[in-house]
Amino acid sequence: MAVTIKDIADKLGVSISTVSKGLHGAPDISESLRTTILDTAIEMGYKTKSMRRENNKKLAIFIEYIEYENPTDFGYELVLGFKQMAGHDKWDVKVIPITADFQMQEKYDAFMLKNGFSGGFFMGFHSNDEWIKRMSTTTIPTVLLDLYIRRNPNVALIGTDNDESFEYSIEHLSELGHKKIALLNGPEGSMAAVSRNAAYEKYMTKYGLELNPSLQQYGMYDEECAKQYVSDFIDAGVTAILCGSDHIAVGVIKECFKLGYKVPEDVSVIGFDDLPMAAKNRIPITTIRQDRGELGKSAYVILSSLVRNVAISKSLMHPKFIKRSSTGPCKDRQC
Amino acid sequence: MAVTIKDIADKLGVSISTVSKGLHGAPDISESLRTTILDTAIEMGYKTKSMRRENNKKLAIFIEYIEYENPTDFGYELVLGFKQMAGHDKWDVKVIPITADFQMQEKYDAFMLKNGFSGGFFMGFHSNDEWIKRMSTTTIPTVLLDLYIRRNPNVALIGTDNDESFEYSIEHLSELGHKKIALLNGPEGSMAAVSRNAAYEKYMTKYGLELNPSLQQYGMYDEECAKQYVSDFIDAGVTAILCGSDHIAVGVIKECFKLGYKVPEDVSVIGFDDLPMAAKNRIPITTIRQDRGELGKSAYVILSSLVRNVAISKSLMHPKFIKRSSTGPCKDRQC
């Protein structure tokens, strides 16, 4: 049975017209009463008319911390792929860049309810963002890129299969004779980076290669972090460096040249993402392609399933291994 | 560019009419030439008219080793859920029980091509089945229940999130004071069982509980396997047993009673699946629900994405923890 305005009024001991005013933001009730009414409506699973009406189908894409406006940006094809698939099914999609501040001011469920969105797709958020921290109790169908919320049937993760990605990379380097392979990862606060760390350990072990904590470092998704680690890696005898992103790989290659080492003759480097810059780099970068258009499409497929009450938890995409010029045979004859 | 019959004829150096005969099973060419033509067509990505025609949309569900014809069978709701979702999108679904022998006689891709199926969903297969062994090179969009094929963008796994499942179970038992918790799993040849083994180890460790190889056993998905292990578990001081299926749990409960122990007073038992029998057991069984209707729906959602070239690799469903009477507080005062 669908929850009605009368159910909410009965529960709160107020009149139906008061509840109606609260739900529609009328100015003649207090802000605290409005909040109580909205919170109660959400808790009881109330859906506004616009959420129930079939011809007003709205989904939101929330974006924080990643670029999406230009074709070379990480988020561009994600948004495009999502919109393409959603368009086929006649959904209206709104892209909403969002700040940490806004998340403190307005609750996620209330925002969705007030604006008549049936579901949300989140790109670029951190696990300590306010909306993410409260995601374990949301009743709104929600898909998160690279963030996993346990135990809430309304929320699913989408991402690229890191396990398969690292199998490709480490197999490739192993076939080229490399044994000392370092990992310069994204930040430890990134769930994708943590998952790649585990995949690195799994496949280094599987290929009989030695793990060494000093060769396995968390950095940032930028070029700068290479400066801190590359010199130590090379001093330790590393002949190949796996990177958590193409940006990191560009930084690593620059740092190798600065230190007087050639890529790939002295050091092989593998990126992650296959942003357009990876192919255009002076040394075109061998990398793992996350197909962002497909990720966006998949995000829509999963979100529309959640909207239909199919409780998907995680959905991962196959990566592609892209061989370019930044990897080559291990030179060290001890390889 | 779509591959044409002429392309196949050119490649093989035969006439167009010969290729056409081979593809349509005409009796006046040899079986070996027909096989060569089919294999070449498949290799080149040729699609028959019926595969390309929009108004002839056919999907196949292949079933081996599991029951699906009665509402109490594991496969029943899986098939139903799949058919329901597929029906909305006007797909025709054919259910095809299949034997190991048939897989030796006819190749999967050839079978799909000849019969005009656009995609297949596999339930109950083993990793050493002939069709599964060759699945890494198929060009047919395919979804497998609980089987993972790496590196083929045409193939996806669907299953229940075992990690989340074991977190629920071990958290529950830990809160009840249990410390010595055994696992009686499905067979080691089952990918689901291997994944549950890893999840068991992860959450035992997370809750500070001791792992002991003798308390972590692979069995079979039936009642019988309980006879071999329960007595040893209890002798080793075990107060709770996690089972790889509800059938195993029924066997474990029977064996406990036979040995003079009460469930849950002396031993707590948790099943897996939530088949109808779990609720109807003399001691209703606490278990992890795999929502089979949702799994079937999800299988369709993922398969239809693969058909549209969205390369999903894995898709997992949220499980539900179902508390019934087979678990209770740890009696041992040393708990």
The string of DSSP codes covering B213-263 is: GGGEEE--SSSTTHHHHHHHHHHTT--EEEESSHHHHHHHHHHHHHTT--T
> Using a CB-CB distance cutoff of 8 angstroms, which residues of chain A are in contact with residue B306?
none
Q: For an interface test with B, which of A149, A160, A315, A317 has the most B Cβ atoms less than 10 Å from its Cβ?
A: A315
- Among the listed residues B302, B281, B174, the one whose alpha carbon sits nearest the alpha carbon of residue A301: B302
Share of chain A above pLDDT 70, in %: 96
Look at B312 and A317 and tell me if their CB atoms are within 8 Å. yes
Q: What is the pLDDT of residue B55?
A: 56
Look at B315 and A302 and tell me if their CB atoms are within 8 Å. yes
Measured between its terminal Cα atoms, the distance across chain B in Å is 68
Query: Is A317 strand, coil or helix?
Result: strand
Q: Looking up tokens 């006819």, which residue turns up?
A: B106
Look at A161 and B301 and tell me if their CB atoms are within 8 Å. no
Look at B298 and A316 and tell me if their CB atoms are within 8 Å. no
**Eight-class DSSP state of A116:** T
CA dihedral A69, A71, A77, A81 (to 10 degrees): 90
Look at B301 and A298 and tell me if their CB atoms are within 8 Å. no
Which of B164, B168, B311 is closest, CB to CB, to A313?
Answer: B164
The pLDDT-based confidence of A55 (bands split at 50, 70, 90) is low
Going by DSSP bridges, is the β-strand pair A320-322/A287-289 parallel, antiparallel, or unpaired? Answer: antiparallel
* Amino acid sitting at position A183: L
Q: What is the pLDDT of residue B333?
A: 42
Which of B302, B311, B318 is closest, CB to CB, to A313?
Answer: B318
Give the mean pLDDT of chain B: 92
Look at A312 and B313 and tell me if their CB atoms are within 8 Å. no
Give the mean pLDDT of chain A: 92
Burial (0-12, 13-18, 19+ Cβ within 10 Å), A207? middle
Q: What is the pLDDT of residue B143?
A: 98
Look at B161 and A297 and tell me if their CB atoms are within 8 Å. no
Query: Is A157 strand, coil or helix?
Result: strand
Q: Does position A210 have pLDDT exceeding 90, yes or no? A: yes
Please give the average per-residue pLDDT across A127-147, as a whole number: 95
Which residues of B make CB contacts under 8 Å with A?
150-153, 161, 164, 167-168, 291, 294, 297-298, 301-302, 305, 308-318, 320
**Eight-class DSSP state of A230:** H
> Using a CB-CB distance cutoff of 8 angstroms, which residues of chain A are in contact with residue B168?
151
Please give the average per-residue pLDDT across B78-101, as a whole number: 92
Q: What is the pLDDT of residue A137?
A: 95
Rg, chain A, Cα only: 24
Q: Which helix (H) or strand (E) holds A269?
A: strand A268-270
Please give the average per-residue pLDDT across A206-223, as a whole number: 96
pLDDT digits (tens, 9 = 90+) for B23-57: 877 778 887 888 788 878 877 778 766 566 555 68
- Token code pair at residue B25: 């099973």
Q: Does position A49 have pLDDT exceeding 70, yes or no? A: no
Give A171→chain B minimum CA distance, Å: 13
Which of A167, A311, A312 is closest, CB to CB, to B150?
Answer: A167
Closest-CA residue of chain A to B168: A151
Separation CA A216–CA A239 (nearest Å):
14
Which of A150, A298, A308 is closest, CB to CB, to B312?
Answer: A298
* Dihedral sign of CA atoms A295, A297, A298, A299 in order: positive
Give A231→chain B minimum CA distance, Å: 34
Which of A152, A297, A313 is closest, CB to CB, to B310?
Answer: A297
pLDDT digits (tens, 9 = 90+) for B229-275: 999 999 999 999 999 999 999 999 999 999 999 999 999 999 999 99
The pLDDT-based confidence of B22 (bands split at 50, 70, 90) is confident
The pLDDT-based confidence of A27 (bands split at 50, 70, 90) is confident
Residue that wins the pLDDT comparison between B90 and A62: A62
Rg, chain B, Cα only: 24
Q: Does position B139 have pLDDT exceeding 90, yes or no? A: yes
Look at A310 and B318 and tell me if their CB atoms are within 8 Å. no
Q: For an interface test with B, which of A292, A318, A320 has the most B Cβ atoms less than 10 Å from its Cβ?
A: A318
Q: For an interface test with A, which of B310, B314, B316, B321 has the most A Cβ atoms less than 10 Å from its Cβ?
A: B310
> Using a CB-CB distance cutoff of 8 angstroms, which residues of chain B are in contact with residue A167?
150-151
Share of chain A above pLDDT 90, in %: 75
Please give the average per-residue pLDDT across A160-165, as a whole number: 95
The pLDDT-based confidence of A81 (bands split at 50, 70, 90) is very high
Separation CA B173–CA B178 (nearest Å):
5
Closest-CA residue of chain A to B302: A301
Separation CA A146–CA A196 (nearest Å):
11
Predicted complex: ipTM over 0.85: no
Q: What is the pLDDT of residue A46?
A: 80
Q: What is the pLDDT of residue A1?
A: 63
Closest-CA residue of chain B to A309: B294
Q: Does position A263 have pLDDT exceeding 70, yes or no? A: yes
> Using a CB-CB distance cutoff of 8 angstroms, which residues of chain B are in contact with residue A296?
none
- Among the listed residues B140, B144, B141, B116, the one whose alpha carbon sits nearest the alpha carbon of residue B132: B144
